[in-house]
Structure 1
């Protein structure tokens, strides 16, 4: 089955690959040792440490599978080429209707983290910003109502 490509920045892919390497080389062996020690301390039945270690193993293995899938299906979007126009990977300085100025980076959904100023190209704000330029005013329909934004800079 052909998986949908996952858009991601070069930086985002590198970060995910580093996490995957860490999980393979450090966390997986740590969890295996933890399971072995817990098993030696009293078998597997009614052993809280063993159950905890097995839960850790399930989390680590699930995260590895998820990251391997993302990396396998990643489509790196290279640096933007249109100066002044919002594209995937750009940093965008915006001003909202209250005068508050914020900076966002337009990224793929797998690396989006609004707290860090990274918004998905698929989010309402991300979609509205793409293709717009410095000085453009946009309106975005959000669950909280209409959000009016002014694009101040694109880099």
Structure 2
């Protein structure tokens, strides 16, 4: 095997294993207790995966197996470092981070979501990011308020 071929193979393997960084939002990193724990657990999981990959003997396989954990360790370490733990809301008078709120859309649909941090938001499971357009429109409002979101109206039915 020629040296040129070996170098080309190594360069290809290296380029396959360097992943772009996960984007980090420029928003303040507010988290609930559950959100902080999730970030810490994800960081620990990524560190364990990186440690497992580091003992592989085959250099190319080690690079491939390390690519995602390297990226994730960097991401989750930064998210844990910048996390600002928010206490639970003390009042249900005004929509704030951590609240569960129910609102009705002008098309008659009723939805309930909890406002949480970006990393823990999962609309399919009933949570939205504090930086989402819906949360931004509703934070600071009270029961009975109607807010305009684009060309749609939302009426707050309950806050808990």
**TM-score of the superposed pair, with normalisation by structure 1:** 0.77
Q: Give, in angstroms, the shift of residue 84 of structure 1.
A: 2.8
2:22 matches 1:17: no
In structure 1, how many angstroms separate the alpha carbons of the residues matched to 2:105 and 2:116?
A: 20
Per the alignment, do residues 65 and 97 of structure 1 end up closer, same or farther by CA in structure 2, a change over 3 Å counting? same
CA RMSD of aligned residues (A): 2.0
- Cα distance in 1, alignment partners of residues 90 and 104 from structure 2: 24
Q: 1:98 is paired with a residue of what secondary structure? A: coil
Q: List aligned pairs for 1:133-148, cutoff 5 A.
A: 133-141=142-150, 146-148=151-153
Q: Where is the strand percentage greater, Structure 1 or Structure 2?
A: 1
- For 1:47, the equivalent position in structure 2 comes to none
Q: How far apart are 1:137 and its partner, in Å?
A: 1.2
Q: Unpaired runs of 5+ in structure 1?
A: 45-49
1:23 Cα deviation after fit? 2.2
Structure 2 residue aligned with 1:153? 158
Q: TM-score, normalised by structure 2?
A: 0.75
Q: Write the deviation string for residues 50-81 of structure 1: whole angstroms up to 9, x where unpaired.
A: 2xx52331111110111011111111111012
Q: 1:114 to 1:56 in 2, by over 3 A?
A: farther
Shift of 1:4: 7.5
CA distance in 2 between partners of 1:121 and 1:104 (Å): 11
Give distance in 1, aligned partners of 2:81 and 2:103.
34
